[in-house]
A and B are shown apart, each in its own frame.
Chain A
């Protein structure tokens, strides 16, 4: 696909860097982000703005570079060039652990919890991890009321209170997804990166997750990568479409949905 078609078909202010995005009310922003693997550009000169307080969905076919983008945003991967801003602070060179301390948390496409800890301990660790350093050697975590309370609150929030004492490895797939959300909530992030939270979930579990994310929208800015279109259209305030590392469209969901190129590239020929 040529660069000209890309820009002409772009809906929102995705056309040029010179006009650029206003940094105003941008919670998370990338500028000219490039990441290549060999000859393949997984992220190709990407400008993305996630507005403060919004839920911004990112969709795109497999191999479009969604997870690569998330990895650069959270710092597990560093871009070849370009910048990442969190509330106008350049965090491009900041290591992942520091970014979390600054309020940028993520979930993983493949559920990532601590399998040997029970649910409560998983979340208590997440609370401990953002509460400053852990060079504390004597008092048991189990007796730390702050961490335990934060953990209990977060578990209640995602509806896992009754499973608090169950080892994470024994939880169902859907429950582990919920647990991971509880863990990021306990970190009290300002911006949350969700990498396919509905992946592998059944209809009922997905519906619960949509409900949960809906309830979070008022308190945290989210960037949601998801294949489940029903979920995306139910939740998103803004929607971006990523194809071959490039944003081909950004805008409100209904506009993006009717965009011709998006339909061709991703949603399939027949509009919903």
Chain B
């Protein structure tokens, strides 16, 4: 984590610059449709960066991270639903502050409860139990007729904030991109702080951490809650982006995709998830135009990166520049 190669930092920085400029170019050149791709990319990068905090920094392979995207999205969708259809006065609102507060609060609560249980396990058991918890959310959403069950729920209005109109694609992109920068900065500070050091140390050698006088459990739990909150926030943005939410967002394969993005880009570099989600979106875009069976070549490419490019794209760049 220390001594990042210049090359991977340059590549990651280049991705950020492209993301800052290209959507604006597209917008002003009239290709508004393309800005949607970038918005989705940036939201996934936020969720991926939150997963990086768990997977890369703390070594906790959560396989249920999509649950938070879903919780965040429904925290926007449900108040809008009631505000439009009537009922549940205490909850109903178009107010963005209220919706985003709900997204963060519910995510934090879910992370706190499930984390307190999941973090007592390790390895494969941790993967399975985090997946099981997210599947609980999935089946709960499927069974909620009020919110459209497995047909999903339309979000009739974007979250209302002063000055920014989230129904304007450029505003929405600006908010998402700004959020990504903020999240990257926060996670960067976290991982080099004393708190982050405990997480990193516990990933490498838990017994030594105990023997050094620190019980890592609460630190991990806190990291788990932080990652959940960031992903829940990304989910709230996602609801504003797609304006349609469904239990499909929470399905275990979505969690798998998030994990793929982090591993593809490189789980040992803070910009890895951003690079990973960019490639993910790009591959999906290119391959799905080429064939309807795009999942097959897509899967093969992922396999190759995981097998031969240990450390993902960023890891390959790092080794390259060290040799």
Contact = CB atoms under 8 A, between A and B. Distances in A.
Interface of A: 74, 76, 95-101, 105-106, 108, 112-118, 121, 124-126, 128-130, 134-142, 144, 183, 187
Interface of B: 1-2, 189-190, 192-198, 200-201, 204-205, 207-215, 219, 222
A112 B208 CA distance: 6
B201 A137 contact: no
B53 to A, nearest CB: 12
B194 A113 contact: no
Contacts of B198: 129, 134
Contacts of A98: 213
Contacts of A134: 194-195, 197-198, 214, 219
A141 B212 contact: no
A114 B198 CA distance: 11
A140 B192 contact: yes
8 contacts: A112-B207, A117-B200, A129-B209, A129-B212, A129-B213, A136-B193, A141-B192, A142-B192
Nearest to B1: A116
B20 to A, nearest CB: 25
A141 B194 contact: yes
B212 A139 contact: no
A128 B194 contact: yes
Contact of B211 (A74, A117, A141): A74
Nearest to B215: A97
A117 B212 CA distance: 15
A140 to B, nearest CB: 4
A95 B195 contact: no
A187 B314 CA distance: 35
List the 6 shortest-distance A-B pairs measured between CB atoms, nearest first. Answer: A100-B213, A129-B212, A140-B192, A134-B194, A136-B194, A97-B215
Given A101-B213, A114-B205, A137 B200 contact: no
Given A98-B213, A100-B213, A130-B212, 19 more contacts: A97-B210, A100-B212, A105-B213, A106-B211, A108-B208, A121-B2, A121-B197, A125-B212, A128-B194, A129-B212, A134-B198, A134-B214, A136-B194, A137-B189, A138-B193, A139-B193, A139-B194, A141-B193, A144-B194
B266 to A, nearest CB: 15
A70 B57 CA distance: 31
A250 B197 CA distance: 42
Contacts of A76: 207, 210-211
A139 B18 CA distance: 30
A139 B219 CA distance: 16
A209 to B, nearest CB: 19
A5 to B, nearest CB: 37
A116 B200 contact: yes
Q: Which of B195, B196, B214 has the most CB of A within 10 A?
A: B214
A106 B213 CA distance: 10
B39 to A, nearest CB: 29
B201 A114 contact: yes
B195 A136 contact: yes
B323 to A, nearest CB: 15
A3 to B, nearest CB: 34
